[in-house]
Amino acid sequence: MEYRLNRDVHSFLDPRTKLLLLFTSSVFVVGNAGEKWMFVFYWILVYLPVLLLFIEKEWKAGLISIAIYVGSYFAQTALQNDLTAIESVLALMLYIITKILPTVILARYIVKTTKVSEFLAAMNRMHVTDKLTIPISVIFRFFPTVAEESRAINNAMRMRGIEMGAKKSTEAVEYRMVPLIASCSIIGEELSAAAMTRGLDVGKRRSCIWKIRFGIFDWIIITLCVTCFIWWGIGRFFI
């Protein structure tokens, strides 16, 4: 079967749109700007990331998130008045989780669906300097590596019977951290060497095989985000 490269990015949204959405969500969901005035937008921004999960066919993650939302909503209404200290603590925990969860889902969605190459190109079009975009793309690339390495170290510790809390806890931290950093620094060195022999450099024009452009869904999301800010502005300055 002959292979033909499809240069249309399979992802649903443009990287720039994703970042705008993340920004908006940080301001209004986590930052809680506008509060009650932003009620409707708040809930749209909370549930939108779940919709994105469904579009990416991550049914399980999506359903779990909805279950958490609904569960904590009812728990919070149940924990309404005259709480004891412990109930308050519980309520606060639920509150923090529901605040942070939407952005976490969104951030994960972005990392998962954005190609490094596509991200570099999109940022380049917005004239963001390489000095930020190269480290960010390395972060994308490196999260799974850090996870892989720490899993291997963890396994080795379990096998040797040096587990967290087993002996001295300071040692448990040291034993975990030292091989991780050593290993990551070696991988990093090799990664830099490889990237540089392939022509990666700062401030040079790159091309990008992926076709990045705004589609209809991008415009919808952008409109949503812009409306959020306008509506907030109206509430803030005119009412």
The least CB distance from residue 161 to other proteins, in Å, is: 7
User: Which of positions 96-155 make contact with other proteins (CB under 8 A)?
Assistant: 96-97, 99-100, 103-104, 107, 115-118, 130-132, 134-150, 152-153, 155
Stretch that binds other proteins, among 46-54, 65-73, 157-165, 221-229 (CB under 8 A): 157-165
The least CB distance from residue 168 to other proteins, in Å, is: 11
Rounded Cα distance, 46 and 66, in Å: 10
Number of residues near other proteins (by CB under 8 A): 106
Residue 92 or 126 with smaller CB distance to other proteins: 92
The least CB distance from residue 34 to other proteins, in Å, is: 10
Does residue 159 belong to the site contacting other proteins (CB under 8 A)? yes
User: Which of positions 193-232 make contact with other proteins (CB under 8 A)?
Assistant: 193-202, 204-211
Stretch that binds other proteins, among 28-36, 51-59, 220-228, 230-238 (CB under 8 A): 28-36
The least CB distance from residue 78 to other proteins, in Å, is: 10
Stretch that binds other proteins, among 48-56, 186-194, 217-225, 230-238 (CB under 8 A): 186-194
Q: How far apart, in Å, do the first and last CA atoms of the chain sit?
A: 64
Query: DSSP letters along the chain, please?
Result: -------B--SSS-HHHHHHHHHHHIIIIIS-TTGGGGHHHHHHHHHHHHHHHHHTT-HHHHHHHHHHHHHHHHHHHHT-SS--HHHHHHHHHHHHHHHHHHHHHHHHHHHHH--HHHHHHHHHHTT--HHHHHHHHHHHHHHHHHHHHHHHHHHHHHHHT--TTTS-HHHHHHHHHHHHHHHHHHHHHHHHHHHHHTT--TT-----SSB----HHHHHHHHHHHHHHHHHHHHHHT-
User: Which of positions 35-64 make contact with other proteins (CB under 8 A)?
Assistant: 35
Stretch that binds other proteins, among 26-34, 49-57, 65-73, 216-224 (CB under 8 A): 26-34
Residue 199 or 238 with smaller CB distance to other proteins: 199
